[in-house]
């Protein structure tokens, strides 16, 4: 499904209104659900929908909404949604968000729900996303039983004295459901209800920000970054009155508001009310522009005499932590993942899955060959602007004359990393997480990276190239999660990504090599084909010699490291000539 963003879909700054995105998402996923089931379906639930960091769709951009069934049950199915942007000023599509919509088949005239046709096979990555959501809900449900008096005292003590009572942020609005708001099943269109929910949340956020700005500066721009926990408990129909109750349930300093929305349907026949929807919207306030100067807002405080409100206040903090970590695990512009012990297994699994999808070129990963005249034993591909970010992915493919197990053992041995990695200063095991994952401390030597490096960095870096201090570089420390998995026909994969752990003091706010990277090993025609992929920030590339020379420098050094790695094997066989090597790595079906 394609949509062009017009002025009617934008706010006063020209940015897309989040509610319009929800409306289009519901249309696209409903069409996919009904195309698979061959019957009418209704929305049951929407998982966390988190926008990728730094991506703002605007007037003139084109949205591509890709929806497909990913998990099928008896009378319900899950539709996976991927939304990409084609910017008016560029050609490369940018990932905006991804989510899952649960649909239920409508009852027929006999009161029975039609069965859903099965899928040939569920998509591994989507199943993993579903399990993450299930664990999140389980943890949140346990908060009520785990919360105690001491926890309540500590929580209330952390609230500033000038905080605004949650009850004072309460707001409401009403909408009349007209025939134009109905869907093809004569119920209120779910996308319209979600659009109204966002409208109510945005008004509440704007009012709270105006009343509680610490600096007395009126916020100029509001931007919704996520919605979570949308549930459709019951339908509504034309002529119903929908009441939207809202309140600010949490403010994370300085400008992040969490708005709770509840929808009640009131019948005009008997004035009865029923809860039909709930959700939490995350909205940021800025003084000048989106992702600009944040507006400092006052905190909100629960009623200390209302235990349920106190627990909900605590739940939102825990929910926000989990949502942030989960978004980093499954998002495209993930960066460093906040480490949560409860999700160690899921983080390891998604790290491997992400690496495999990127190696194969699934989605927005258009690999292009790097032509190296003097290199015939290693194939190199690159993907610039990965997922619309300022980073470049590099993929190296070479062949080794030993079996997969030997290659895997050498790569997994932490004490052997420095034997072949030219820039490795330390690679030590900190602790085992699961049977197939661990945490390692990786220290490497990298050139000094200057923030806001000028566009003429080719010239600057060229002058610095001969300086010993620059060439020796500085030490960069990071905490890596390593995960490994066995595949079909003896294949293996070992992947890693940077994580932020409260006990690891070296982790910086920005990781230069943070996205999933690693090795895939396959046995092809009696030889082990080794594929290595790494994602590197463009600022680091410029520090290696400028925008033009930086990639060439990194590729040359990495080729040298991989050749040293191959020499460490017990025996090696000369790789096939470059023009006869496989030009595209193909994953076994079991990977996907």
Question: For the purposes of burial, counting CB atoms within 10 Å of the CB of 578, is it exposed (0-12), middle (13-18) or buried (19 or more)?
Answer: middle
> Looking at 93, 122, 151, which one is the last position of a domain?
122
Q: Does 552 lie in the same domain as 407?
A: yes
pLDDT at 418: 92
| Number of domains observed in the structure of the chain | 3
Rounded CA-CA distance 549/533 in Å is 20
Report the CATH number that the domain containing residue 175 is assigned in CATH: 3.10.129.10
Q: Does 555 lie in the same domain as 439?
A: yes
Give the model confidence (pLDDT) of 361-396 as tens digits: 765 678 888 888 888 889 999 888 776 667 888 999
Give the model confidence (pLDDT) of 293-303 as tens digits: 888 898 898 88
Average pLDDT over residues 585-592: 39
Q: Does 445 lie in the same domain as 395?
A: yes
Q: Report the sign of the C-alpha dihedral through residues 383, 384, 388, 389, in that order.
A: positive
Phi, psi of 177 (to 5 degrees): -80, 115
- The alpha carbon of residue 375 and the mean position of all alpha carbons in its chain are separated, in whole angstroms, by 36
Rounded CA-CA distance 107/436 in Å is 44
For residue 582, pLDDT over 60 is answered with no
pLDDT at 338: 81
Rounded CA-CA distance 287/495 in Å is 41
**Average predicted confidence (pLDDT) for the chain:** 81
Task: Report if residue 307 sits inside a domain.
Answer: no
Give the model confidence (pLDDT) of 52-62 as tens digits: 877 889 999 99
Beta bridge partners of 483: 437, 495
Task: Report if residue 168 sits inside a domain.
Answer: yes
Q: Is the peptide bond before 254 cis (omega within 30 degrees of 0)?
A: yes
User: Hey, what are 309's tokens?
Assistant: 């409100």
Q: Does 383 lie in the same domain as 248?
A: no
Task: Report if residue 139 sits inside a domain.
Answer: no
Q: Does 529 lie in the same domain as 381?
A: yes
Rounded CA-CA distance 485/68 in Å is 27
Rounded CA-CA distance 107/39 in Å is 10
Task: Report if residue 18 sits inside a domain.
Answer: yes
Instruction: Tell me the pLDDT band of 483, cut-offs 50, 70 and 90.
Output: very high
> Looking at 122, 146, 175, which one is the last position of a domain?
122
Q: Does 385 lie in the same domain as 280?
A: no
8 A C-beta contact, residue 362 and residue 125? no
Q: Residue 94: give the domain boundaries.
A: 1-122
How many CA within 13 A on the CB side of residue 511? Answer: 26
- Which residue, chain included where needed, has tokens 């949650």? 166
8 A C-beta contact, residue 278 and residue 229? yes
Residue 96 carries which DSSP code?
A: E
């Amino acid at each position: 499904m394609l949509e062009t963003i017009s002025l009617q879909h934008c706010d006063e700054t020209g940015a897309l209104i989040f509610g319009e995105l929800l409306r289009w998402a519901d249309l696209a996923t409903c069409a996919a659900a009904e195309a698979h089931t061959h019957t009418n379906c209704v929305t049951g639930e929407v998982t966390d929908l988190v926008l990728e960091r730094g991506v703002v769709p605007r007037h003139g951009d084109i949205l591509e909404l890709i929806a497909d069934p990913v998990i099928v049950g008896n009378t319900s199915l899950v539709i996976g949604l991927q939304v990409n942007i084609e910017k008016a000023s560029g050609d490369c599509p940018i990932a905006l968000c991804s989510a899952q919509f649960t649909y239920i088949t409508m009852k027929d005239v006999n009161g029975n729900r039609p069965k859903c046709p099965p899928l040939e096979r569920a998509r591994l990555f989507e199943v993993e996303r579903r399990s993450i959501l299930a664990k999140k809900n389980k943890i949140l449900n346990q908060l009520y039983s785990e919360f105690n008096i001491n926890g309540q005292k500590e929580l209330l003590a952390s609230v500033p004295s000038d905080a605004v009572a949650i009850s004072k942020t309460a707001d409401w609005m009403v909408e009349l459901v007209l025939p134009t708001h109905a869907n093809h099943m004569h119920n209120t269109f779910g996308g319209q209800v979600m659009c109204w929910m966002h409208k109510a949340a945005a008004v509440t956020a704007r009012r709270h920000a105006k009343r509680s700005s610490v600096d007395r500066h009126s916020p100029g721009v509001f931007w919704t970054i996520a919605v979570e926990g949308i549930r459709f408990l019951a339908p509504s129909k034309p002529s119903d009155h929908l009441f939207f109750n809202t309140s600010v349930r949490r403010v994370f300093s300085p400008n992040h508001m969490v708005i709770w929305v509840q929808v009640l349907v009131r019948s005009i026949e008997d004035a009865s009310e029923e809860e039909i929807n709930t959700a939490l919207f995350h909205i940021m306030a800025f003084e000048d522009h989106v992702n600009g100067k944040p507006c400092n807002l006052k905190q909100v405080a629960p009623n200390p005499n209302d235990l349920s409100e106190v627990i909900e206040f605590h739940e939102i903090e825990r929910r926000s932590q989990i949502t942030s970590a989960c978004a980093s695990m499954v998002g495209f512009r993930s960066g460093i993942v906040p480490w949560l012990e409860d999700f160690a297994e899921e983080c390891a699994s998604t790290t491997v899955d992400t690496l495999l999808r990127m190696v194969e070129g699934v989605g927005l990963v258009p690999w292009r060959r790097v032509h190296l005249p003097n290199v015939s034993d290693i194939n190199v591909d690159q993907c610039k602007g990965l997922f619309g970010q300022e980073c470049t992915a590099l993929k190296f493919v070479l062949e080794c004359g030993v079996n997969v197990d030997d290659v895997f053992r050498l790569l997994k041995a932490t004490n052997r990393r420095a034997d072949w990695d030219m820039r490795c200063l330390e690679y030590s095991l900190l602790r085992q997480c699961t049977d197939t994952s661990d945490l390692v401390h990786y220290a490497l030597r990298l050139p000094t990276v200057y923030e806001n490096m000028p566009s003429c960095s080719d010239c600057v870096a060229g002058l610095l190239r001969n300086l010993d201090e620059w060439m020796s570089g500085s030490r960069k420390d990071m905490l890596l999660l390593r995960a490994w998995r066995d595949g079909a026909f003896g294949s293996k994969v070992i992947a890693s990504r940077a994580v932020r752990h409260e006990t690891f003091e070296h982790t910086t706010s920005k990781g230069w090599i943070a996205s999933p990277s690693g090795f895939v090993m396959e046995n092809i025609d009696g030889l082990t084909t080794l594929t290595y992929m790494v994602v590197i920030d463009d600022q680091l590339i410029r520090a290696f010699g400028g925008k033009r020379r930086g990639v060439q420098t990194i590729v040359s050094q990495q080729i040298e490291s991989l050749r040293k790695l191959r020499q460490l094997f017990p025996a090696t066989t000369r790789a096939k000539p470059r023009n006869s090597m496989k030009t595209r790595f193909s994953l076994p079906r079991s990977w996907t």
